[in-house]
């Protein structure tokens, strides 16, 4: 497997975990375990795409893109987790607003 595929897998798994952790912190926005995971995977994938776009801009400055060093792996985990949590929260808020429940804490 090349580094790009491994990085994507790390981001997607981290996104699923991030979506479920965020739902534990914001129980009123929870989509259920499967919904949280799916929203998290989407968020992890979106985080990966935006990171590659940003890395492409930095590549001209000599930045390494898509490596498998420890810093890159930690960045993939953090980016995927945060992206997953954010997308889960956004989808949860939209679902809550559409059902007429309003925002709850």
Phi-psi region of 64 (alpha: psi -120 to 50; beta: other; left: phi over 0): beta
If you average pLDDT over every residue of the chain, what do you get? 84
Write out pLDDT tens, residues 20-55.
Answer: 999 999 999 999 999 999 999 999 998 766 666 566
Residue 96 CA: distances (Å) to CA of 12, 35, 43, 88: 25, 14, 19, 12
Per-residue pLDDT, 62? 44
Contact yes or no for 29/88 (Cβ under 8 A): yes
% of the chain at pLDDT higher than 90? 57
- Rounded Cα distance between 6 and 20, Å, is 22
């Amino acid at each position: 497997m090349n580094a790009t595929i491994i990085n994507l897998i790390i981001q997607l798994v981290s996104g699923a975990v991030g979506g479920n952790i965020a739902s534990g912190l914001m129980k009123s926005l929870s989509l259920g375990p499967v919904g949280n995971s799916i929203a998290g995977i989407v968020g992890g994938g979106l985080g990966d795409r935006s990171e590659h776009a940003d890395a492409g801009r930095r590549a001209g400055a000599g930045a390494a893109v898509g490596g498998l060093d420890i810093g890159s792996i930690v960045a993939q985990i953090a980016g995927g987790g945060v992206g997953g949590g954010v997308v889960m929260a956004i989808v949860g808020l939209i679902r809550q607003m559409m059902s007429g429940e309003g925002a709850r804490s």
